Structure 1
Amino acid sequence: MGSQKRIAKELAELVESPPAGITVNLADEANLYEWKVLMDGPEGSPYHKGKFQIKLVLPTEYPFKPPTVSFATKIYHPNVTNDDKGSMCLGMLRPDEWKPSSKIGAVLEFARQLLSEPMPDDAIEGRIAEQYKNDRKHFDEVARDWTRKHAS
C-alpha cells in the first residue's frame, strides 16, 4: 500500500504546482498508476508551440522500480522511438540507474529538458541522432515540421 500513498502524494503535488510547461492528470480516475501528461515544447527548441501528450505508467513496485515514459504524440527526436510506442530513452529510468528517491516531477522535468537538449550519444534512433549531430539545420526543420503536424 505504501506505493499508492507515495504516488497519490506525488500526483497531488504535481497537479497543484506542476513544473513549467507541464500539466499532469490521471488518464483514468480509477487508476492511480497511469498518468496523462501534457508537455509544451520548450522555447528555443524546434518543438516550441507544440503540445505533446505523454503517457506515464507506474509499476506497482514504484518507487523501487522506475515508471515508463512514452510519447503518445509523434515526435522527431533521437531519444524517442519513431514508432507507435514513442518510448523514451532516459538514463535515469533504466532499472540499474533508477533510485527510489527519484520523484516523478524530476523525471518529467528531465524529459522536457531533453526536448531542448537531445542526447544523441544515448540515442534510441541512430539515424536521427546522426542527423542531429551532422546536419542540425535539417534536423530542426524536420522536428518543427513534425511538431506542426502532430503536436498542435
Structure 2
Amino acid sequence: SYEVPAALKIHFTEAELNDLLVHFGMFDIDGGGSIAADELKQVLQDMGIDATDEQVEEVIAEIDKDKSGEIEFGEFVALMHKVNTGQLEIGASLLAQAVMDSTAGKKLAVEMAEVKENPIPGVTFIIDKRDPTTVVFDIDGPPDTPYHQYVLHLQVVVTDEYPYSPPQTFFTHRLLHINFNILLDGTTSMPQVTAFWDAEWNVRALVEYVLELLKEPNLSLLPPDYAHGTRHDYNTQHFDHRNPPGMDLRAKKKSSDFLAEVVYLYC
C-alpha cells in the first residue's frame, strides 16, 4: 500500500511525495508495494554498500513500525521525514544513506516517467532494476536507412554529476556509422555526440538526436580533414600517412549496401 498517514502527509508537498515514491520504487524491486529484506540487500549491494543479513534485518526492524517484516511506503516516508527534520543523521541509517546516494537514479526515473507518458516513436526502454542509473533503449532502425528492420540497443548510464556532465552512452553492439566509434569490446560509443552535451539536454533529447543521426549522419561533427574528404588526398596538408587509401568516410556514407551488410553481421 502507498498510503501515507494524514499527520505525516502535511509535512510534504505533492511533488515531494512523488519524488519519494520514485525513490521507494528503486528499492521495491518486484513492485509489490513494500521493501523486503532481500530487495533491500540487493539494492544496497548494487550501490556498492555491503550489508550483512543481520544489518539489513536491523534496518527493517527500526523502520517497520507495524512489524510486518517489510517496509511500507508510509514507513519509508516517516524515515525521510526524520532525516529532513534532523531527527536522524543520514549516516545512522543504511536505507536513508542509500536514498540520498541514489540522486542520479531518481533523476533518470523522473525523466523516464515523462518519456513513458509521451513516448518517442519507434523507441522503447527498460530501466535496469538492479542499477537504477542505467536505461536501455530498443530503437527500431529508421525506414530508408541501412538500419531498417533491425532493433538497435542503446544503453545510457547517468552519474551523480548528471545533467551537468553527459551520461555514458553507447550501443551494446557494433554499429557502423560515421559519427560513432566501434570499440574493441564490441560496443559502439559516440564521443562526437556527447562532446556537445550541456546541462539543458536530457536523456530524451539525447536519444532523439541519436535517432536523427541514424537518419542523416552529420559531417560537421567530424574532424575537418574527414569532413572535407582530404584525409587521404596526397595534395593536401591534411593527408594522413598512417591510414591506407579507401577510408574516406564520405564514401562509406554513400555505400548503403556496405552498411547494410555490416548491420546484418553485427546487429
Question: Do these two structures clear the TM 0.5 threshold for a shared fold by scoring above it?
Answer: yes
> Which of the five TM-score ranges fits, normalised by the shorter chain?
0.7 to 0.9
* Offset at residue 17 of structure 1 (A): 3.1
Contact between 1:38 and 1:52, CA under 8 Å: does it hold in 2?
yes
Aligned CA distance change for structure 1 residues 128 and 149 (closer, same or farther; 3 Å): farther
Look at both structures and tell me which one has the larger radius of gyration over its CA atoms.
2
Partner of 1:5: 106
Q: Residue in 1 aligned with 2:266? A: 150
Residue 102 of structure 1 aligns with which residue?
A: 201
Give 1:55's aligned amino acid.
Answer: Q
Q: 1:118 aligns with which of 194, 200, 217?
A: 217
- Give yes or no for the alignment of 1:140 onto 2:256: yes
- Deviation beyond 4 Å, 4+ runs, structure 1: none
Relative to its length, the structure with more helix (as a share) is: 2
- Counterpart of 1:114 in 2: which secondary structure? helix
Question: RMSD value over aligned CA atoms?
Answer: 2.1
Aligned-partner Cα distance in 1 for 2:149–2:200: 32
Aligned to 2:149: 49
> Percentage identity across aligned positions?
25
Task: Give the number of aligned pairs.
Answer: 142
User: CA offsets, 1:59-114, max 9 Å, x none?
Assistant: 221111111211112111111112323101344x22xx422221211100100110
CA pair 90-25 structure 1, distance change in 2 beyond 3 A: farther
| Letter aligned with residue 32 of structure 1 | P
**AA aligned opposite 2:249:** A
Structure 2 residue matching 1:141: 3-state secondary structure: helix
SS of aligned partner of 2:110: helix
CA 1:101–1:76: 2 relative to 1, 3 Å:
same
Match of 2:132 in 1: 32
User: Could you say which structure has the higher strand fraction?
Assistant: 1
| Counterpart Cα distance in 2 of 1:115 and 1:82 | 15
**What is the CA deviation profile of residues 9-36 of structure 1, one whole-angstrom value per residue up to 9, with x for unaligned ones?**
102222343211111112x302111111
The TM-score, its normalising length taken from structure 2, stands at 0.48
68, 87, 109: which one aligns with 2:189: 87
If asked which structure has higher relative contact order (CA below 8 Å, sep 6+), I would say 1
For residues 88 and 119 of structure 1, do their structure 2 counterparts lie closer, same or farther at Cα, with a shift above 3 Å needed?
A: same
User: Is contact 1:69-1:88 (8 Å) kept?
Assistant: yes
TM-score of the superposition, structure 1-length normalised?
A: 0.81
1:70-81 equivalences under 5 Å are 70-81=170-181
2:210 aligned counterpart, secondary structure: helix
Tell whether the 8 Å contact from 2:104 to 2:159 is kept in structure 1 after alignment. no
- Any idea what the Cα deviations from partners look like across 1:30-52, whole Å, max 9, x if unmatched? 21111111111111111111111
